[in-house]
């Protein structure tokens, strides 16, 4: 069992004993948290010091999904083995995980961060600002078990902050929204106060949105490198190249991440939990249970669009994201069957066109 001194030491990196009641630690092991992840291994923190460590093969290779491999934010049991090498031997059960679909044509999943309380979705109030992308992030967060917060950076360069705030509150009802100058500690004070001792937050957003600048301000130190924005397209450079967890002065922990070029869904997301509850409620009022909200009579969703109560762009986003979730949630057999069906339909269409050409 952990002693009060152990718990006090580990609390500096976000440990809460209530998450793992009755945790038994072998005599030759100790609890630690993964604070960095690299191709060559990991960096773990025991509440006092950081140590370079490697993971047992069964934790990296003998797992059903890649997202189950050790990642930043994971709590683990580590020990010194093999002539002094530090090894991650067990992972403690996660209470939350932010996972995205791996980039490319694959159904695999990638864990961005584990054991997090907040996901700070960072968007710059410049050419980075995009409501549809914010919706996508909110959908991704809906399956994580963590709470989303919207952080609108570069507020010092905007003359219409309240309009931006109102727009994002429409697509994210009930979600906290902070419009900040990421370089100013005073501007970020309310955001910092929302991250309570013992909690962990992870930053997500595009390159150049201001994540590293925000990290430095919340830390009160220049811990992360920052880069300039390209004037040609407003995009940023990848100044953060790996995920890293850092304790904040107020007692919370913060995980900075590289900018995400692709926000791919996993199939476990819930549109109602992602802020689309308004459309999900409207669908229950449609005359037909299988209404596709296109030309069917008695469609409550289309009626809301006609009456100006629902933005057509938001409806299109809901449809697109819903289709992506369904596709991502398919198992291997379903994917094969769908591809066979699509191929058969395409061939049937070619046959029809060919016959018409003969006539």
Report pLDDT digits (tens) over 55-113: 998 998 888 888 999 999 999 999 998 778 999 999 999 999 999 997 766 668 899 99
Mean pLDDT of the chain: 88
Q: What is the maximal distance between C-alpha atoms in the chain?
A: 87
Residue-level length of the chain:
359
Q: Domain map of the chain by residue range?
A: 4-91, 110-256, 272-328, 334-359
Distance from chain centroid for Cα 79: 30
| Secondary structure (3-state) at 110 | strand
pLDDT of residue 230: 43
- The third-level CATH classification (topology) of the domain covering 4-91 is OB fold (Dihydrolipoamide Acetyltransferase, E2P) (2.40.50)
User: From the CA atom positions of the chain, what is the Rg in Å?
Assistant: 23
Instruction: For residues 194-210, give the mean pLDDT.
Output: 94
Cβ pair 76, 47 in contact under 8 A: no
349 vs 337, 338, 341, 345, 355, CA distance in Å?
A: 18, 16, 12, 6, 10
Query: Which residue would you say has higher pLDDT here, 297 or 227?
Result: 297
pTM: 0.85
Query: Which residue would you say has higher pLDDT here, 22 or 299?
Result: 299
DSSP-assigned states of every residue in 13-43:
GT--GGGSTT----TT-EEEEEEEEETTEEE
Q: Which CATH superfamily is domain 272-328 in?
A: Probable gtpase engc; domain 3 (1.10.40.50)
181 vs 152, 213, 216, CA distance in Å?
A: 8, 10, 12
**pLDDT tops 80 at residue 145:** yes
Distance CA 102, CA 33 (A): 24
Report pLDDT digits (tens) over 286-334: 999 889 898 899 999 999 999 999 999 999 999 999 999 998 887 655 6
Instruction: Return the minimum-mean-pLDDT range out of 1-5, 78-82, 336-340.
Output: 336-340
351 vs 85, 183, 348, 358, CA distance in Å?
A: 65, 63, 5, 11
Cβ pair 153, 125 in contact under 8 A: yes
Distance CA 59, CA 51 (A): 18
Instruction: For residues 244-273, give the mean pLDDT.
Output: 92
pLDDT of residue 62: 81
Cβ pair 226, 216 in contact under 8 A: yes
DSSP 132: H
Instruction: For residues 115-142, give the mean pLDDT.
Output: 95
The CATH number assigned to the domain with range 110-256 reads 3.40.50.300
**pLDDT tops 90 at residue 226:** no
Q: What tokens were used for 82? A: 């093999």
**pLDDT tops 80 at residue 224:** no
pLDDT confidence bin for 262, thresholds 50/70/90: confident
**pLDDT tops 60 at residue 229:** no
Instruction: Return the minimum-mean-pLDDT range out of 158-162, 214-218, 247-251.
Output: 158-162
């Amino acid at each position: 069992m952990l002693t009060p001194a152990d718990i006090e030491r580990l609390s500096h990196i976000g440990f809460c004993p209530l998450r793992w009641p009755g945790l038994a630690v072998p005599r030759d092991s100790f609890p630690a948290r993964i604070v960095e992840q690299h191709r060559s291994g990991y960096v773990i923190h025991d509440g006092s010091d950081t140590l370079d460590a490697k993971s047992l093969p069964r934790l990296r290779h003998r797992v059903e999904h890649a997202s189950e491999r050790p990642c930043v934010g994971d709590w683990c049991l580590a020990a010194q083995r093999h002539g002094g090498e530090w090894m991650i031997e067990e992972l403690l059960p996660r209470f939350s995980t932010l996972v995205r679909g791996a980039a490319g044509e694959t159904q695999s999943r990638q864990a961005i961060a584990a054991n997090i309380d907040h996901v700070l979705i960072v968007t710059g109030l410049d050419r980075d600002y995009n409501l549809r992308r914010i919706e996508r992030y909110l959908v991704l967060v809906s399956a994580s078990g963590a709470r989303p917060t919207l952080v609108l950076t570069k507020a010092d360069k905007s003359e219409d902050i309240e309009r931006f705030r109102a727009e994002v509150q429409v697509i994210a009802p009930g979600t906290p929204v902070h419009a900040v100058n990421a370089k100013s500690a005073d501007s970020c004070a309310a955001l910092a106060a929302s991250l309570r001792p013992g909690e962990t937050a992870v930053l997500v957003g595009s390159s150049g949105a201001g994540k590293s600048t925000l990290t430095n301000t919340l830390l009160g130190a220049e811990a992360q490198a920052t880069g300039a924005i390209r004037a040609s397209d407003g995009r940023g450079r990848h100044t953060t190249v790996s995920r890293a967890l850092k304790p904040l002065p107020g007692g919370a922990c913060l995980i900075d991440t590289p900018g995400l070029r692709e926000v791919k869904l996993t199939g476990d997301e819930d549109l109602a939990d992602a802020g689309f509850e308004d459309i999900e409620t409207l669908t229950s009022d449609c005359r037909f249970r299988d209404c596709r909200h296109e030309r069917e009579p008695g469609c409550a969703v289309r009626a809301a669009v006609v009456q100006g109560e629902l933005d057509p762009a938001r409806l299109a986003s809901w449809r697109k994201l819903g289709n992506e979730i369904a596709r991502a949630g398919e198992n291997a057999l379903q994917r094969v069957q769908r591809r066979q069906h699509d191929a058969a339909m395409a061939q049937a269409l070619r046959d029809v066109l060919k016959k018409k050409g003969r006539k």
